[in-house]
Amino acid sequence: MKDDAISRGQLLVCIYLTMTAEMLIRPYREPIQFPAQVLIPAAGMNLLVIGLALRLGRRAGTIGCAQRAQSGVGRLAMLFCTAVLALSGGAALQDADGFLGFTGGRQFSFFLFLALALLLVFYAVRLGAEGFARVGGVVLTLMLLSLGLVILSNLRDLRLQNLQILPQSHEKVVQALGIGFYASPALLAGVVLTEKTDRPAQMRWGKLLGGIFATYFVLTVVGEMTLGSFASVQRQPVYTLARIGGISVFRRLDSLHSSVWLMALLLGVVVQAAAAELLLRGALPAKWKKYTVLLTALLFGGAALFVHQETEAALWRWLTVGTAVGMLLLCAGRKGGEKRQ
Amino acid sequence: MAPLDKRLGRNLAWLREQFDGSADFFIKEVCLCGVDCAVMLCDDLAGVDLAWELLLRPLQYEQRQFSGGGELAGYLVSASGVPFSAAPIESREDLFYNLCAGNGVFLADGDDKAYSFAAQNFAQRSPGEPDSEVNIYGSKEAFCDVLRRNMGLIRRRVRSEGLVIRTMRVGRYTDTEITVVYHRELVDPRLLEGVMARLEKIRLQMVFDSGYLAPFLEKNPYSLFSCAGLTERPDTLCAKVCEGKIAILADGTPYAVLVPFFFTENFQSMDDYCSRPYYASFIRALKYAAFLIAVLFPGIFVSVANFTPELLPGQLLYKVAASEAATPLPLFMEAIFVNLILEIVKEAGLRLPKAIGHSVSLVAALIVGDAAIQFGMLGSPVVIVASLSAICGFAVPSLYQPITILRMLFILAGGLLGPLGIVLTLLAAIFNICSINSFGLPYTAPLTPYGCGALRDGILRASWKKMQGARFTVDDLPGAKRGKRHEG
Amino acid sequence: MKRFLALFAALLLLTGCQRPVSLSERAVVKMICISRQRQNYHVKLIAYTAPQSEENADAEREILLAEGEGDAVQTALLDAEHRLGAEAFYAQNELLLVEQEAAADRLGEILGYFSQERVSRPNTAVYAYQANEEECLLDPDTVQQTVKLLEEQKNSSGQDGGLVQMIYRFDLTGEVEDFFLLPRLVMGEGGVQTDALLFFRDRALQLALTGEEMEAAQLLLGELSRYRYLDGANSCTAEDLRLEYTVEDAPQPRLQLALRGEVRDLRSEADPRALCREIENHLAELLGQVILRCCVENRTDPFRFGWWFLAVDADRFAPLLAEGALFQENTVQVTVRLTPAS
């Protein structure tokens, strides 16, 4: 792997794209049947909790993997986080395959898709962080264009009266938060990859979470204003929006949008794979270091096959728990590394 | 390096041995001012009459006598009007090199130095109009094959102090002279050091074109995109040198190599800077669109027709379906076949002699285009898509090679795997291009990492009033790494 | 490099393995008609296949009609696909016609099936039709024109195309609306047209609005922005019609509905201003009548008037809405203000 550095902005863009893709592509998640009036505050509270956690653990990203590996707790933290990222990457690949089945009339074998996707992902990992950080800029442009087009093509179908108004929604907000609380492992990858940035101690997580919230807000409101109560029974309401919108003679642009979202999802897998590879490289003994890319590929492939066989509706809960535990261990590992110094 | 002998006879014997009876080697032995001398040159590289005019004629009436070659040479160098070069030749290899470079060489008995004088009189192409970088406005001069004349074209345009033209020789058997051109005040010293280090490591047998040097200036020569640019325009070269870049020219070719080179430069031309900024910006944006169409359109068409036909508007859908029903090949194979035929036609038109070259387009249009469709061998939609894609590729000629390869890859990917194939191939191509660094500078700057340069002189072009006064060099691009110019 | 070449060669081998269905082998389904016969669903697929020669690409388009039957919508569709003779391609299908009796009885089930994400496009337009109209609607000589007209109407919905109910506009959970609203199609002189708006609830047809009431309902739904008035020698067109809502809380909850617009193409023997007043009164009366029939008599709120009350005070008005006690005779008051175009 090259010794490369990326900017904080580039890393935040990559994490933003990963989390946005998770928002858009969710073929196996059950819909949370609440209106926007409940979902948006719940999402805000979710991100607030994550923001506080990131703030408390902000120093976790300032210590490099090499330093962290000097302590036993640090190595344990690194291996655990690698497993969480592998599981998350596998779930993302499973989601991508499921999404392709939605968007296209015919679906390829999961194994073929997995082989091709892993080939791409690990080619990208080998190219280094600079590569995927720059790709993030391109994919961000495409994503913003896609989302803008989705909103634009549905403008004339927006109806204010489609927004549901519930009395006394505070309890429902707490209920929605409990049902849907999620901490994306992409944040874990972001914390790990912070060491590649120029100023790791000054990561602006608030900007990232603000951007995610703004995106969620706009998409949820537009979704409900267009689809009404239909939105709450959709697994992928934004994809439904993409299917109904059209411009001029081009009425069915959903396959264009889905291609862009798929690119963002695969970029997210690349980011998580890069973070996992970095952790593995730090945790393993020196003689294994030249095999880390291959090992990470095998881990991700194995995780994808596991998720494919044992599709667990609550997998995302396990990932949330894993992310939280991983963050804690990284902080603990950081303290251990500093004491040894 | 073997030094010259003081005895004239020994030096001449060595030269005769090296030239081994070559018909173009000319020696004139004379006695000037009481000293045995010899004037040597390669016939047709240097002119005998020039040697006579420059050296022998002025001295034939000289009355003074000298005791030895050293004295005579000293007089000729410092007190006469003979236009010898400033530095004397001290080794046999340099002597041989000067003769092959078209200089005349003077040797005197008793002196272990030789003196060269410019007597080139070989047949050469004058600087004509550029063939590959055609512009409407601006200079119509292009480099020629003679390196020294090209140096003059550069020096004439960059008259400020700081322009440096350094020469070196590469090629074991050709000893080709190359020059490295840069501006001392603008170039990054680390970049210069990196380029010179790479050039010095070249161990080629022969160098007939500056393109031979390009792979040595890139980190990944297998990448589809090259981060060493080529130009045959002096004004373009000078513009790049004034941005802190380095140009390398080789004798015998009008093309110069520019490093570092960026992706956005493929879409720039000198006409952009002579046109109105809004028009130049429009044309540049059009070129970017043309590039994307050239690369993606056939693959996306095949993918949409086979996997996601709901994208096609109703009427178009039935026309495409009817066309597919009427032809024997599936759409995917048709697309590959048509694109291959177009490449063959293009290559044939390029290589054929001019007298019959234009008949290729007639044959291609009539037989491939019209008759094949009428016969039902090919469908109109595929031919239209392929033609449109080819025309768009011509809008960005410097990227024609990667466009051709990528186009075929996308057709394969779209035909085999549909949208998944397109997405994976597109991502792979974007990852590949974004990971390229040219001497520590991102190849895709200022597009990504994004910088205001994208609006200043990347996708758009700001007006000269906005650009004046601000010194811009490649080090100002976003993502420029500090201290890593060697690795590329 | 060798690894990539090997992979490339392996990929090329795939060319023979999975050949996608070519366009010419697909039957593009353009319309689905569903009815009930005895206890089974009866499905008719109207599909187009491409003509075999390019010259006739536009002039001739082979129309396929396939019928299927089954105890569920899915089985009936599969039966119809089987009889189609070509691979059915649904991604361009955006028209679903449901026979009126079937709609009354099983519309929820039918919409539930077609609202699944992998089954059909969510912007599929749903219409009702009467059984005796089926033959005219599916006449092979006119079905292309019918499909074309309906698609044009669907794509210009909200721009005076009239009401188009798309699948995503139905509340399948029943939380917001406990009824289904469908436009009904008939074959008229100029082709297919909407002749009524049907309200279905509790497996029965609750209400049918026709003629001017239908137009008024479409105005209130925001699907029309013009109204043609014709009374003997007097005629005009009210255009740019838009609704403004104001909620008054006391003494009783009231929604002031103001319809504003411009009057154009005035042809009147009498004073134009008098004609304007006449139209205003006529529209106000008509709108009030429709509101009465829908909101008060049949306790349906297709115009989402309740939303405006909830926006003011959800805690107070939500229970009233749930009980159906919010709308009384004077709860919604309509005023119409039209100005002659300058």
Whether residue C155 lies within 8 A of chain B, CB to CB, comes out as: no
To test the contact with chain C by mutation, choose from A108, A123, A127, A165 the residue with the greatest count of C C-beta atoms within 10 A, namely A165
Residue C88's closest chain A neighbor by CA? A105
Q: What does the block give as tokens for B447?
A: 């597009």
List chains adjacent to chain A, taking adjacency as at least 3 C-beta pairs closer than 8 Å.
B, C
DSSP B255-324: -EEEES--GGGGG--HHHHHS-HHHHHHHHHHHHHHHHHHHHHHHHHHHHHHT-GGGS-HHHHHHHHHHH
- The ipTM, to two decimals, is 0.92
Distance, CA of B263 to CA of C260 (rounded, Å): 57
Asked if residue A214 belongs to a domain, the reply is yes
Q: For B222, which of C1, C61, C89 is closest by C-beta distance?
A: C1
Averaged pLDDT for residues A152-167: 91
- The alpha carbon of residue C157 is apart from the nearest alpha carbon of chain B, in Å, by 18
Q: Which residues of A touch B308 (CB under 8 A)?
A: 103-105, 255
Distance, CA of C233 to CA of B110 (rounded, Å): 127
Q: What does the block give as tokens for B33?
A: 């001012």
Residue C48's closest chain B neighbor by CA? B318
Q: Which of A25-29, A156-160, A269-273, B462-466 has the lowest mean pLDDT?
A: B462-466
Q: How big, in percent rounded to 5, are the helix, strand and coil portions of chain C?
A: 35, 35, 30
Position B290 scores a pLDDT of: 96
Q: What does the block give as tokens for B473?
A: 């060099």
Interface of B with A in 409-428 (CB under 8 A): 417-420, 422-424, 426-428
Which of the 8 DSSP states describes residue B137?
A: S
Is A340's pLDDT higher than 60? no
Distance, CA of A48 to CA of A41 (rounded, Å): 10
Q: What does the block give as tokens for B218?
A: 């890139």
Contact yes or no for B412 and C51 at CB 8 A:
no
Position B438 scores a pLDDT of: 86
Averaged pLDDT for residues C185-209: 90
Give me chain C's average pLDDT, please. Answer: 86
Of residues C152 and B295, more confidence is placed in B295
Residue A252's nearest CA partner among A241, A263, A260 is: A241
Q: For A165, which of C91, C173, C307 is closest by C-beta distance?
A: C307
Q: How confident is the model at residue C17 (pLDDT cuts 50, 70, 90)?
A: very low
Per DSSP, helices labelled H in chain A are: 8-24, 36-56, 65-68, 72-103, 110-127, 129-153, 170-180, 185-193, 205-227, 237-244, 254-283, 292-309, 315-340
Whether residue A125 lies within 8 A of chain B, CB to CB, comes out as: no
Contact yes or no for C54 and B319 at CB 8 A:
yes
Position A55 scores a pLDDT of: 85
Q: How confident is the model at residue A60 (pLDDT cuts 50, 70, 90)?
A: low
Distance, CA of B399 to CA of B391 (rounded, Å): 13
Task: Yes or no: say if C94 and C65 are a contact pair by the CB < 8 Å rule.
Answer: no
Most confident of A271-275, B24-28, C27-31: A271-275
Of residues A233 and B293, more confidence is placed in B293
> For chain B, which residues score pLDDT lower than 70?
123, 125, 357-358, 362, 366, 469-471, 481-488
Q: What does the block give as tokens for A191?
A: 């914390």
Model pTM score:
0.87
Averaged pLDDT for residues C190-203: 90
Position C159 scores a pLDDT of: 58
- Encode B20-86 in three state secondary structure: CCCCCEEEEEEEECCEEEEEEEEECCECHHHHHHHHHHHHHCCCCCCCCHHHHHHHHHHCCCCCECC
Second-level CATH architecture of C225-340: 2-Layer Sandwich (3.30)
Asked if residue A207 belongs to a domain, the reply is yes
Task: Yes or no: say if A90 and A311 are a contact pair by the CB < 8 Å rule.
Answer: no
Q: Residue A313: which domain range?
A: 8-340
Treating both helix axes as pointing N-terminal to C-terminal, what angle do A110-127 and B419-434 enclose, rounded to 10 degrees?
A: 10
Task: Yes or no: say if A97 and A89 are a contact pair by the CB < 8 Å rule.
Answer: no
Q: Which residues of A touch C310 (CB under 8 A)?
A: 165, 167
Is C183's pLDDT higher than 80? yes
Is C33's pLDDT higher than 90? yes
Distance, CA of C34 to CA of C72 (rounded, Å): 11
Contact yes or no for A116 and B420 at CB 8 A:
yes
List chains adjacent to chain B, taking adjacency as at least 3 C-beta pairs closer than 8 Å.
A, C
Distance, CA of B399 to CA of B152 (rounded, Å): 30
Q: What does the block give as tokens for B395?
A: 């809008």
Contact yes or no for A124 and B427 at CB 8 A:
yes
Question: What angle (nearest 5°) sits at the alpha carbon of residue C89, between those of residues B309 and C68?
Answer: 170
- The alpha carbon of residue C305 is apart from the nearest alpha carbon of chain A, in Å, by 9
Position C53 scores a pLDDT of: 55
Task: Yes or no: say if A246 and A252 are a contact pair by the CB < 8 Å rule.
Answer: yes
Contact yes or no for B319 and C58 at CB 8 A:
yes
The answer to whether the bond into C251 is cis (omega within 30° of 0) is yes
The CA-atom distances, in angstroms, between A221 and each of A151, C35, C314 are 11, 37, 19
Q: For C52, which of B222, B326, B330 is closest by C-beta distance?
A: B326
How many CA atoms lie less than 13 Å away from C229 in the CB half-sphere?
24
Q: Which of B47-61, B412-426, C29-43, C259-273 has the lowest mean pLDDT?
A: B47-61
Structural domain count of chain A = 1
Task: Yes or no: say if B411 and B335 are a contact pair by the CB < 8 Å rule.
Answer: yes
User: Residue B329 corresponds to which amino acid?
Assistant: L
Q: Is the CA virtual torsion C139, C49, B293, B388 positive or negative? A: negative
Residue B248 φ/ψ region, left for φ over 0, alpha for ψ in the -120 to 50 degree band, beta for the rest: beta
Q: How confident is the model at residue A252 (pLDDT cuts 50, 70, 90)?
A: confident
Contact yes or no for B310 and C19 at CB 8 A:
no
Q: Which residues of C touch B380 (CB under 8 A)?
A: 54
- Report the percentage of chain A scoring pLDDT > 70: 94
Whether residue C112 lies within 8 A of chain A, CB to CB, comes out as: no
Residue A207's nearest CA partner among A41, A33, A61, A47 is: A47
Q: Is the CA virtual torsion A67, A72, A78, A79 positive or negative? A: positive
Q: Which residues of C touch B330 (CB under 8 A)?
A: 19, 22
Distance, CA of C289 to CA of C254 (rounded, Å): 17
Bridge partners for C201 per DSSP: C204
Asked if residue A1 belongs to a domain, the reply is no
Position B478 scores a pLDDT of: 75
Contact residues for C2 (Cβ-Cβ < 8 A; gap 6+): none
User: Residue C13 corresponds to which amino acid?
Assistant: L
Q: How confident is the model at residue A337 (pLDDT cuts 50, 70, 90)?
A: low
- The per-residue pLDDT for range A285-301, each reduced to its tens digit, is 888 888 999 999 999 99
DSSP A287-305: GGGGGHHHHHHHHHHHHHH
Contact residues for B471 (Cβ-Cβ < 8 A; gap 6+): B186
How many CA atoms lie less than 13 Å away from B407 in the CB half-sphere?
31
- The per-residue pLDDT for range B276-296, each reduced to its tens digit, is 888 999 999 999 999 999 999
Distance, CA of C201 to CA of C218 (rounded, Å): 19
- Report the percentage of chain C scoring pLDDT > 90: 44
- The per-residue pLDDT for range C71-113, each reduced to its tens digit, is 999 999 999 999 988 888 888 888 999 999 999 989 999 999 9
Q: Is the CA virtual torsion B407, B412, B415, B418 positive or negative? A: negative
| Cβ burial, residue B84 (10 Å; 0-12/13-18/19+) | buried
Q: For A135, which of B308, B430, B437 is closest by C-beta distance?
A: B430
Q: Which residues of B touch C11 (CB under 8 A)?
A: 412, 416
Position A1 scores a pLDDT of: 43
Position A61 scores a pLDDT of: 65
Q: Which residues of A touch C121 (CB under 8 A)?
A: 243-244, 252
Asked if residue A268 belongs to a domain, the reply is yes
Residue A130's closest chain B neighbor by CA? B435
Averaged pLDDT for residues A127-132: 91
Neighbours of B164 (CB within 10 A): 15
Give the pairing type, strands C95-99 and C26-37.
parallel
Q: What does the block give as tokens for B379?
A: 């469908």
Q: Which helix (H) or strand (E) holds C205?
A: strand C204-210
Quickly tell me which residue has 């009233």 as its tokens.
C320
Question: What angle (nearest 5°) sits at the alpha carbon of residue B382, between those of residues B381 and B388?
Answer: 90
Bridge partners for C87 per DSSP: C26
Q: How confident is the model at residue C177 (pLDDT cuts 50, 70, 90)?
A: confident
- The per-residue pLDDT for range A29-51, each reduced to its tens digit, is 888 789 999 999 999 999 999 99
Averaged pLDDT for residues A104-121: 86
